[in-house]
Amino acid sequence: MARKGVLVTGGAGYIGSHVVKQLGEMGERLVILDNLSTGFKEAVLYGDLVVGDTGDTDLVSRILRDYEVDAVLHFAAHTIVPESVSDPLKYYGNNTCNTRNLLQCARDAGVKHFIFSSTAAVYGIPDGPYASESSPTAPINPYGASKLMSEWMLRDLSAATDLKHVILRYFNVAGSDPEGKIGQSTRNATLLIKVSAEVAVGKREKLCVFGTDYPTPDGTGVRDYIHVSDLADAHIQALTYLRNGGSSTTLNCGYGHGYSVREVIDAVNKVNGTPIPVEEMPRRPGDPPQLVAAVDKIHDVLDWKPRYDDLHFIVKTSLDWERKLIEHPWGE
């Protein structure tokens, strides 16, 4: 019997492409659906790439049928928080409405397993430094709200059908493939380690630090940074869990400890060998002082064992990839 297909939406993007790489190395039968608005065809190392949108019912239905898909990993989304505030309908349209369409197509096609790329932004500003899966969900921007609405739809569909799901709530994803085959190539990126690496290689003039008066040890915000390859592995473990009969669940994806902005900058300077220029700026509205994942559940449910819990290693893979992009730019 031929192996069933796996659909990866947004599989040409940063996180999706790293998951595709790991799935491909396992011999999975893959089809990637991506409109390439922020992704890159060069990032798709395995499977068949279909250029299109998750909102295209006919296209999605045809893919699910032709590839006999029984598992969907859904990454396709807009992810820039400030843009979601200035253009909320763009986020509700792509992140929420298109996810509803994808879920309907999955239901109609009899898909059994669904893994959803969610975010710590669903927590908003937690009462304490740690956010657990049982913490209240109170997003403070349309990006987080659009993802939370998708979580609700997935929860309710699973309750009404035999589809089982895993929702993975990402904290701060960073780094690139240690083998250097793919990496974070997002244009106009806003994530701290990516931006710092761009400054280090001369793509940007300086790094802006937003807020130096937080009630943290050095006054800058503290976040939980997870290497993208460890995050990709969490998706692999989640798929195995569902295929083995696991019940629907929601899991945080982080390391359970955080680093401040200043600690990240120090690591970049050490790995780079030269200090990067930094400008201190006022706080941005809505940024919590500290946001770190409570991670007991993902370890217990998936027996997940991260390999790259090392800030300097995360930074090194980011810098290595940034230097490679200078020599071999993508999407040009």
- pLDDT 10s digits, 260-312: 999 999 999 999 999 999 999 999 876 788 999 999 999 999 999 999 999 99
Average pLDDT over residues 151-167: 98
Q: Calculate the CA dihedral of residues 85, 87, 91, 93 and round it to 10 degrees.
A: 150
Q: Rounded CA gap, 193 and 138, in Å?
A: 26
CA 150, CA 26: separation in Å to the nearest integer?
29
State how far the Cα of 258 lies from the Cα of 242, in Å rounded to an integer: 30
CA angle 182, 186, 187 (to 5 degrees): 140
CA angle 192, 193, 196 (to 5 degrees): 85
Whole-number Å distance between alpha carbons of 195 and 267:
14
In the chain, the amino acid numbered 203 is: K
Would the pLDDT of 29 be above 80? yes
Half-sphere exposure of 312 (CA within 13 A, CB side): 7
* pTM for the predicted model, two decimal places: 0.95
| Residues near 8 by beta carbon (within 8 Å), at least 6 away in sequence | 16, 19, 20, 23, 30, 31, 32, 33, 47, 72, 73, 75
pLDDT digits (tens, 9 = 90+) for 37-85: 999 999 999 999 999 999 999 999 999 999 999 999 999 999 888 889 8
Mean pLDDT confidence for 246-261 = 98
Q: Which residue ranges make up each domain of the chain?
A: 5-173+225-253, 192-224+256-291+303-327
Whether the CB-CB separation of 50 and 5 falls below 8 Å is answered with no
Portion of the chain with pLDDT greater than 70, in percent? 98
Q: Which of 143, 241, 259, 308 is catalytic?
A: 143
Q: Quote the Cα angle for 164-34-57, to 5°.
A: 65
Partners of 34 in beta bridges: 51
> From CA 143, how far away is CA 95, in angstroms rounded?
8
CA dihedral 186, 216, 267, 82 (to 10 degrees): 10
CA distance 109 to 70: 9
CATH class of 192-224+256-291+303-327: alpha beta
pLDDT band at 331 (very low <50, low <70, confident <90, very high): low
Instruction: Report percent pLDDT > 90 for the chain.
Output: 88
| Structure confidence at residue 1 as a pLDDT band (50, 70, 90) | very low
* CATH class, range 5-173+225-253: alpha beta
Q: What is the mean pLDDT of residues 216-224?
A: 95
User: Is 143 designated active site?
Assistant: yes
* Two tokens, residue 260: 């401040």
Across the chain, the runs of DSSP E, i.e. the strands, are 5-9, 29-34, 48-51, 69-74, 113-119, 130-131, 164-170, 172-174, 207-210, 222-223, 225-227, 249-253, 259-260, 278-281, 290-293
Integer Cα distance of 209 and 192 in angstroms: 9
Q: Which of 120, 69, 76, 113 is nearest to 96 (CA)?
A: 76
265, 215 Cβ separation under 8 angstroms: no
Task: Read off the pLDDT of each residue in 114-130 and give the average, rounded to a whole number.
Answer: 92
